Chains A and B, each alone.
Chain A
Amino acid sequence: MTSGANTLVLPIVLPLLGAFLLPLVARFGDGLARALGIVLVVVNIFLGWTLWSAVGTEAAVTALGGFEAPLGIVLYGDRLAALFVAVLAVGALIFWPRAEHGGVKAYTLTLLLVAGGSGLVLSGDLFNIFVFYEIVAVASYGLAASSGDKAGFGAALRYLVLGALGSSLVLIGIGLVYAAAGTLNLADIARLAPEKLSGTTGLAAFLLLVLGFGVKAELFPVNTWVPEVYAAAPMRVTAILAGVVSKLAMVVILRLLVLVFHDPAAISLLMAVAIVTIVAGEFAAYRASDLNRTFAYSSIAQLGLVALALTIPATAGILAAIAVALHHAVVKPAFFVIAAKWRGPLAGLAGGARVAPAAAGLFVLLALSIIGIPPLPGFWAKLVLLGGAFDAGGAYAFAAAVVLAATVVEAAYLFRVVARIWQPAAGAKPAHFAFSDLSPALLLGVILIVATLFVAPIGTALSGAAASAADAGSYVARVLPGRM
């Protein structure tokens, strides 16, 4: 193994090892376990960064144990994977649990989530993708239930049932692919797909995979767990699940679309699912009764946007998907931080601006960005998405029109809240934010503003990542040299 291979293996292995060791370390003190977890997450950020800088346009590939593809286990690290390894670790770092959030159990589960998530985006074959997807799933069920109250257990149980069904759909889908193509290596499947997977079997496999991964990716109609879990789970968990974990499933769908499924019918299926997801999410958010649910539904709609972006052909679509996903990963956790303090009916938020001016101001900034008001990053993400849609024309233009109309609904429910916050308080005042309560959101707000200032270089970097992620030929050539 080369040093390049280390950056592929370590982001998975280190947190996994850490997750097993933490309960032992915790015997010497909770603080030590917490510190070790944080160190491992920081190392993952560093590894993601190293991978990003190392790979450029040529992705890093490593065959574990020296067994070459397509038989061996392959890890594939391009800039897209590097980005999400880093983003997941940053999210985990910002929302790292404290002792009162469940202590070592929470640390372990979070590290498990980081390990599984990194593995999910780095895996080069379907079997490992399934394994890591399950690790992520188990970790998130545990975290979702970690609030320890009745509502939390109920929501987590429902999440578990749906997630387990989703996983079995994934497994059936993978089985169909294996039956048709005879291999689980993504590059090998990509090579064989035009011949073996272009028919009904391929389409059925795609349907099952999309619905299966769609449970995590919050796609309609398998996303019914979302509002309940996000309302009941601890804020730190909600922020990571909504902000990052949902996107990891999208990365898998992205890989499948780029490498395996090019059938126009498959694309239209995903597009229909995406449009319904957007509409259902935004409209449900319009009638949501509290901030947590509002943001949960809004999160569904945003993932619908990511899915829609994935259907747009060529690099433009992938760039849009990455941009929307990254933007959402910054904005939505910050929203949930605010929602954690401002619980209860929306009417109770009157007077919020007076009690907590920083939170109110941040809310406006986040709302403006998620609606897509220039020059904030959300605007550029929407610009790439809608620009790609209008370039593609036809049904995409219709989808773009839906997105634009949904944006107005989005503005309606977000700024209704803003107007409420600025009204004088009637009755009990909304909660005050201590600096430590708001600091994760403030940090994300600063990231958002910095991203606004550096939108040009960020755009260039993401375009590069999108271009290499869209290059199926290079994926196959890197993993299976000499087989093209």
Chain B
Amino acid sequence: MIGLLDTLLVLALLTTVGLYVFGANRFAGYIGMAAYAAMTVIVVLVGQTLSGGETAVPSAMAFTVLGYPMTWRIDGLGWFFALLTTGAGFFAAWYMSGEWNEAQPNKRIQHGTLALNVLAMLLLVSSGDFLSLFIGWEIVSWAAFAMMTQLGGPAATAALRYLLYALAGAMALFAGILIVRSATGSFAFEDFAAAVPNLPTATKWVLFVLFTAGFGVKMAIVPFHLWQAPAYSFTPGASSSFLNAVSARMGLFALTLVLIKLMGPALLAGMDIAYTWFDARSALLWLTAITMIVPTYIALMQTDARMLLAWHGIGQGGYMLLGILVGTPLGLAGGLLHTFNYATYQMALMLAVFAVVHRTKTADLDELGGLITRMPFTYITLLMGIIGLAGLPPMNGFVSKWMIYKSLLNTAQPLLLIAAFIGTLGTILSVYKLIHNIFLGQLRLEHREVKEAPLSMLLPMLTLAGIGFVTGWMPGLALSMVDIAQSALGIGLQPHHLGGVDLPNGSLNMLWVVGVLIAAIGVGALIFYFLGNRRWEVSQYDNYAGGHFLSADVRYHFSHEFYPGLARVIGPWYRGWVVKMERGLQTLVAVLGDLSGGVFRFAHTPFYLLVAVSLGLLWVGLFGKI
């Protein structure tokens, strides 16, 4: 029987084929919007079934190859990520519906690869066993590669680098699922969950490392993080925003599935590392902490707006995984909520940056400035987005970060909390640089005629920013969706209400927080407008920066080498040992390649045969049974 999930997958498949065929059409964006909207509706219907008490919605699709059954079904966890996927697809298609579409030479590829990625991700999140999970995983990886590589040049280089990381991860995963099958006799999730507590410790460790590395590559966990920012940044706008918002989250989905749902945080916490006070879970927590901090400070140093945001995406993934690994209902809810929140504000931010690129043809933070007067709505989107990214009220990023912080406090892990704070500090500094260098200060001469982004691009940006605000003001809306995901994990739900969460040691009610904030802004506005001295408007060119008074005859915008003091202090930390490791590995492969190739180039081929026979016979004589 054709169920909801089958309808969803068939629709995604038809969309992929349809958009590849008709992608060059000027209405392709609208076709995509309609398709992704329909998919989102189906996903919502699936959600209703799931919240009605069903544990999973099955698919009629099932194969048995070589005695291995493969099934697809979607549970709460997969549903949550499916919703993010179709939603992000919808906004990306919206962005591509008007002027953007007309300006692109490769519309067909852009629309087609977007639909292909949506299809692949839906397949992945609805996998019902390790084998279908692996198949989905590979298809997702290659679909992303197809999306990244389309512009050629540096994009192709970055995509190839991504591909090798992704494939190395996939091979770790391949080994993992085969070890699971050897150990439990099947690829079924249930069999693994039942068998894993009784597996030998060594096997558990091998599986933990293989799965964490395999899935972690997609999430760009340090030290597998080098590929992500360039690969995402050089992809065309809407596609890049889609990748930033949800692609790396497939790694989070799979990690949550295997580490939390199947293995369980308690089991991980029981896997002690000898002679240290670490166990598997806390070791990964600290790796996560490094992932929050290091990429964030790398982001701070970027001079390309796209790269800056993409580097932050890696750090933000760290927050999500941190909350999820805490493993309490509050931590899980925080981590999952952060996934949703991040998708909204990161997508808004990327779309805004690409709107600027669309108008000015540059994403170089040293060559922008003062655009607030030319692109005010883009500015508003970016402002709301960075408030969310920095985790400040009233945007939704605050709520999820608060919940993650709180879960760390409640589980008595203050050091990790400090690590998270250090990451957040870097984020705040960095996003200020972003908005300052693009929108504040004096407008450059060549940007005098720049127009605001067209409505077709503004509307999705502003809608996303609006969602970010509404779910920050009323986080209960998003937390009800998180509930569905969390119910699939078997760790219990975090009770919540429309305004936030109630906890015995300090609650959060955003209805109050936002109310007080707006009231305070209102009071400030009253004072500003009606009390005190007269105010007058200042020309954009008649302001000052860095203590220098500037006049309209000299255009000046301080952007190059932002934060020189900070750079001087933390600069030596950027030793780039991971980069060196990567290069070392490349060199090693090249050397081994030359050695192997040299063997074949050697002219005296029969000599090898002689050597092989002699050595072989020697070996036979020494070790053969008499």
Contacts and interface: CB of A to CB of B under 8 A. Distances in A.
To the question of whether A and B form a pair in one complex, the answer is yes
Interface of A: 158, 161-162, 165-166, 169, 198-200, 203-204, 207-208, 211, 215, 221-222, 224-227, 263, 265, 269, 279-281, 283-288, 297, 368, 371, 373-375, 379-380, 382-384, 386-387, 389-391, 393, 400-401, 404-405, 407-409, 411-412, 415-416, 419, 422-424, 455-456, 459-460, 463
Given A198-B625, A387-B178, A404-B171, A204 B152 contact: no
Contacts, number: 167
Contacts of B171: 404-405, 407-408
Interface string B581-617: 0000000011011111101101001101101110011
A16 B156 CA distance: 52
A379 B171 CA distance: 12
Contact of A456 (B65, B589, B605, B623): B65
A284 B181 contact: no
Contacts of A463: 66-67
A484 B63 CA distance: 42
A224 B156 contact: no
- State which size class the interface on B falls in: 35 or more
A224 B597 CA distance: 10
Given A203-B620, A224-B608, A371-B167, A419 B175 contact: no
22 contacts: A162-B609, A199-B625, A200-B620, A204-B620, A207-B620, A211-B612, A211-B613, A221-B611, A224-B608, A283-B589, A287-B590, A373-B138, A374-B138, A383-B178, A387-B178, A387-B182, A390-B178, A401-B175, A404-B171, A408-B171, A424-B152, A460-B66
B152 A422 contact: yes
A208 B615 CA distance: 12
Contacts of B617: 204, 207
A326 B134 CA distance: 23
A388 to B, nearest CB: 9
Interface of B: 63-67, 134-135, 138-139, 142, 149, 152-153, 156-157, 159-160, 163-164, 167-168, 171-172, 174-175, 178-179, 181-182, 589-590, 592-597, 599-600, 602, 605-606, 608-609, 611-613, 616-617, 619-621, 623-626
Contacts of B594: 287
Contacts of B608: 221-222, 224
B63 to A, nearest CB: 6
Contacts of B174: 382, 386, 404
A221 B609 contact: yes
Contacts of B142: 368, 373
B134 A224 contact: no
Given A373-B138, A408-B168, A265 B623 contact: yes
A200 B624 contact: yes
Contacts of A286: 589-590, 592-593
Given A379-B138, A404-B175, 16 more contacts: A198-B625, A200-B625, A203-B625, A207-B620, A211-B612, A211-B613, A224-B599, A283-B595, A390-B178, A390-B179, A405-B171, A411-B163, A411-B164, A412-B164, A419-B157, A463-B66
Given A227-B600, A380-B66, A284 B167 contact: no
B620 A284 contact: no
Nearest to B603: A158
A200 B621 contact: yes
Ranked nearest first, the 6 interchain pairs of A and B with the lowest CB-CB distance are A287-B593, A200-B624, A284-B596, A404-B171, A224-B605, A283-B596
Contacts of B620: 200, 203-204, 207, 265
Given A222-B609, A408-B167, A463-B66, A400 B178 contact: yes
Contact of A419 (B156, B595, B599): B156
Given A211-B612, A423-B152, A287 B597 contact: yes
Contacts of A208: 613
A335 B597 CA distance: 20
Contacts of B175: 386, 390, 400-401, 404
Given A391-B182, A456-B63, A158 B605 contact: yes
A374 B143 CA distance: 13
Most chain B C-beta atoms within 10 Å of own C-beta, residue among A166, A285, A375:
A375
Given A224-B599, A371-B167, A199 B592 contact: no
A407 B595 contact: no
A199 B626 contact: yes
Contact of A374 (B135, B606, B624): B135
B139 A374 contact: yes
B599 A165 contact: no
A389 to B, nearest CB: 8
A161 B610 CA distance: 13
Nearest to A289: B597
A326 B594 CA distance: 30
Contacts of B172: 404
Contacts of B626: 199-200
Contact of B599 (A221, A389, A424, A455): A221
A465 to B, nearest CB: 13
A411 B161 CA distance: 11
B624 A419 contact: no
B612 A269 contact: no
Nearest to A286: B593
Most chain B C-beta atoms within 10 Å of own C-beta, residue among A169, A285, A382, A415:
A415
Contacts of A416: 160
Nearest to A264: B625
A481 B592 CA distance: 53
Most chain A C-beta atoms within 10 Å of own C-beta, residue among B153, B172, B178:
B178
A169 to B, nearest CB: 7
A382 B172 CA distance: 14
A459 B611 CA distance: 40
A280 B596 contact: yes
Contacts of A373: 138, 142
B609 A165 contact: yes
Given A225-B605, A404-B175, A407-B171, A375 B624 contact: no
Contacts of A225: 605
A25 B148 CA distance: 58
Contacts of B619: 207, 269
A387 B186 CA distance: 11
A419 to B, nearest CB: 5
A423 B606 CA distance: 42
Contacts of B179: 390
Nearest to B66: A459
Contacts of A199: 624-626
Nearest to B137: A374
A204 B622 CA distance: 11
A190 B157 CA distance: 55
Contacts of A226: 600
Contacts of A285: 593
Contacts of A162: 605-606, 609
Nearest to B180: A390
Contacts of A400: 175, 178
A158 B590 CA distance: 28
A387 B134 CA distance: 14
A390 B149 contact: no
A390 B182 contact: yes
Most chain B C-beta atoms within 10 Å of own C-beta, residue among A162, A412, A460:
A412
Contacts of B157: 419
Contacts of B589: 283, 286, 409, 412
Contacts of A412: 164, 589
A38 B592 CA distance: 44
Contacts of A393: 182
Contact of A384 (B66, B160, B616): B66
A215 B157 CA distance: 38
A208 B617 CA distance: 9
A64 B599 CA distance: 45
Contacts of A405: 171
Most chain B C-beta atoms within 10 Å of own C-beta, residue among A391, A401, A404:
A404
A72 B600 CA distance: 42
A384 B68 CA distance: 11
B65 A284 contact: no
